[in-house]
Amino acid sequence: MIRFSQVSKRYPNGYEALKRINFTLEREKMAFLVGHSGAGKSTLLKLITLVERSTHGQLVVNSKNLVKLPRRQIPYFRREVGVIFQDHKLLHDRTVFDNVALPLVVSGVGHRETGRRVRAALDKVGLLGKERLFPITLSGGEQQRVGIARAVVNRPPLLLADEPTGNLDAQLSDEIMDLFYQFNQYGVTVIIATHERRHIQRLNKPVLELKDGRLVNDGAPH
């Protein structure tokens, strides 16, 4: 699903955030991405969603060569990747329903189909019945669930989560992690960037570890 070969990222100011990264994540697998802040976790995720372009190496995601993907194609590529953000990135002037429906509206899914899929996604994250509310009236955990529902609503084969439990207490963050685990059981490839070792031990999944822009652990069993 994801293959990094000698991928480097140097920002225009000269800072080299990632240095010759090599790893492969097979389809339907799940992995954690760990490392100190500034180790390059966010940059790595940004490369996978083409928010940033790699400056060196080969990067293939979902059978697409991202190095050669033209700018016009980026939106269509992003529809195949569900992303969950630490700060949720919800639209606060729209209801929960409209937030979750956004990826479907963007890709032109019909009205009835949209309603059906949004409710299915909200059901999966346990928020059915709150679709008329505005995100601001929800708790932090619930807002993150809305973000998750939005990420999975058009059933992408790949899910990326950047510190999805950053602001949540232990019990809530366990629930969120269990959700990702379930999606992985359904066959979705999942990468979760986190700094909480607890989840890694609990779920027993491979770990990609970054240190100063280098991959010190590529998740392969030793």
Q: Find the binder of another protein among 35, 39, 49, 188 (CB under 8 A).
A: 49
Beta carbon of residue 19, minimum distance to another protein (angstroms, whole number): 23
81-84 sheet: strands from edge to edge? 81-84, 158-162, 189-193, 30-34, 207-211, 214-218
Scanning 105-113, 126-134, 173-181, 195-203 for contacts with another protein by CB under 8 A, the matching segment is 105-113
Query: Contact between 48 and another protein (CB under 8 A)?
Result: no
Q: Beta strand 189-193 with 207-211: parallel, antiparallel or unpaired?
A: unpaired
Query: Contact between 164 and another protein (CB under 8 A)?
Result: no
Query: Contact between 40 and another protein (CB under 8 A)?
Result: no
Given a contact cutoff of 8 angstroms between Cβ atoms, the answer to whether 9 and 16 are in contact is: yes
Residues 6+ apart with CB under 8 A from 86: 162, 163, 164, 166, 167
| Dihedrals phi, psi of 3, to nearest 5 degrees | -135, 120
3-state helix, strand, coil in the chain (%, to 5): 35, 25, 40
Scanning 23-31, 87-95, 170-178, 202-210 for contacts with another protein by CB under 8 A, the matching segment is 87-95
3-class SS of residue 4: strand
Query: Contact between 77 and another protein (CB under 8 A)?
Result: yes
Residues 119, 113: Cα–Cα separation, whole Å: 10
Residues 129-158 touching another protein, rule: CB under 8 A, are 150
Nearer to another protein, 148 or 215 (CB): 148
Query: Contact between 11 and another protein (CB under 8 A)?
Result: no
Residues 180, 74: Cα–Cα separation, whole Å: 25
User: How many residues sit close enough to another protein to count as binding (CB under 8 A)?
Assistant: 19
Nearer to another protein, 110 or 221 (CB): 110
Scanning 77-85, 168-176, 189-197, 206-214 for contacts with another protein by CB under 8 A, the matching segment is 77-85
Give the single-character DSSP code of 209.
Answer: E
Q: Which residues bind another protein (CB under 8 A)?
A: 49, 51, 75-79, 83, 89-91, 102-103, 106-108, 110-111, 150
